[in-house]
Amino acid sequence: MAPIEPVIAPPPPPSTDVFRNDIFKNKVLFCTGGGSGICKSMTEAIMRHGASATIVGRKLDRLEATAKELSTATGQRCITAQADVRSPEQLKAAVAKTVETFGKIDFVICGAAGNFLAPISGLSENAFRTVIEIDTLGTFNTVKATLSHIRQSRGSYIHVSALLHHQGTPYQAHVSAAKAGVDALSAVIAVEEGPRGVRSNVISPGPIGDTEGMNRLAATDPSIRIADHIPLGRYGDKRDVANMAVFLFSDAANWVTGQVMVRPTYSLCR
Ligand code: HXC
């Protein structure tokens, strides 16, 4: 079959062009991993629609710089909480700071993640455990620390996962196992907490341009042209993921729970 000419599509519009600006007025977001990358973009988009936010991470300098940038860009308050998601105590303190400042939590993004490339033969037990502890246990710890507040607000969770475990992905045994656990946790939260009005969904970004995942971890072999295998002919943009987060937290998604939102169909047969 002749290869289809890849289409260079223009970047998507920012979510503010699609959703009303005030849909998250008086709402409060708690986002782990919000200091950079995709989680920072999701936080910005949600703040652009009126929410205040706490961004949580290990590196205070980076968090402070991001909070300042997001507040300036959106006109909303963004505070920081230094915490390692492997520490339930640090997360509880981050939640307490958020509730003291804003009075409640409506939305949680469990986004903190660790990753490096290593074949299973080269993974130490500690290396495997480290990623499981950041991604899977960290998600569990974040849910435990926030659940009473999310029940009170009848709020919503978004968990950031991956597509690695939907097939065998080389050098990603640790992250594949960890993210499969994240998907499972979200599904359980959806069914257990649904009757209380709490929703839980997963965003599994595919190849998103200009991210640490793509820049540092994706295949660098120039003969592998991932974009050629994506029907829309381009990598995702961080704003594509941000738009999905805005939709999932919005009232438009009030009957959406227990779902895994994945990247557009990826075809190796083109
Ligand atoms: C093999 C490695 C390793 C590597 C670390 N380890 N890097 N093993 N290859 N490249 C091992 C260490 O030797 C150690 O095991 C154990 O892992 C813990 O490492 P530490 O550095 O002590 O842990 P810590 O300081 O807690 O840091 C954990 C980390 C973190 C996961 C390495 O630094 C990190 O997360 N960095 C990158 C974050 C990141 O990239 N986030 C974006 C993810 S994007 P031993 O046995 O020696 O004690 C994403 C989307 C997927 O995930 C995209 C796919 C394309």
**What ipTM does the predicted assembly reach?**
0.94
Name residue 262's amino acid.
V
Task: Determine whether the shortest distance from the Cβ of 130 to ligand 1 is under 6 A.
Answer: yes
Active site residues per annotation: 161, 179
Report whether residue 233 contacts ligand 1, using a CB cutoff of 6 Å: no
Report the pLDDT value the prediction gives residue 9, as an integer from 0 to 100.
Answer: 53
10 Å CB burial of residue 100 (0-12, 13-18, 19+) is: exposed
Per-domain residue ranges for the chain? 18-261
CATH for the stretch 18-261: 3.40.50.720
Predicted local confidence at residue 268, as pLDDT: 46
Structural contact between residues 246 and 46, judged by C-beta atoms closer than 8 angstroms:
yes
Cα–Cα distance, 45 to 58 (Å, whole number): 22
* Whether pTM exceeds 0.95: no
Reply yes or no on whether the pLDDT at 260 is more than 80. Answer: yes
Average pLDDT, rounded, for the chain: 90
Give, as one character, the DSSP assignment of residue 17: G
User: Which residue lies with its CA nearest to atom 24 of ligand 1?
Assistant: 130
* pLDDT tens track for 126-179: 999 999 999 999 999 999 999 999 999 999 999 999 999 998 999 999 999 999
212 has pLDDT over 90: no
State whether the beta carbon of 87 lies less than 6 angstroms from ligand 1. no
* Residues 156 and 109: beta-carbon distance below 8 Å: no
Q: For residue 11, name the pLDDT band (cuts at 50, 70, 90).
A: low
Q: Is there an atom of ligand 1 within 6 Å of 160 CB?
A: no
- Residue bearing the CA closest to ligand 1, atom 36: 114
Q: What is the pLDDT of residues 37-86, one digit of tens each?
A: 999 999 999 999 999 999 999 999 999 999 999 999 999 999 999 999 99
Q: Is the pLDDT of residue 233 over 60?
A: yes
Cα(216) to ligand 1 centroid in Å equals 12
What pLDDT does residue 141 have? 98
Half-sphere exposure for 75 (CA within 13 Å, toward CB): 6
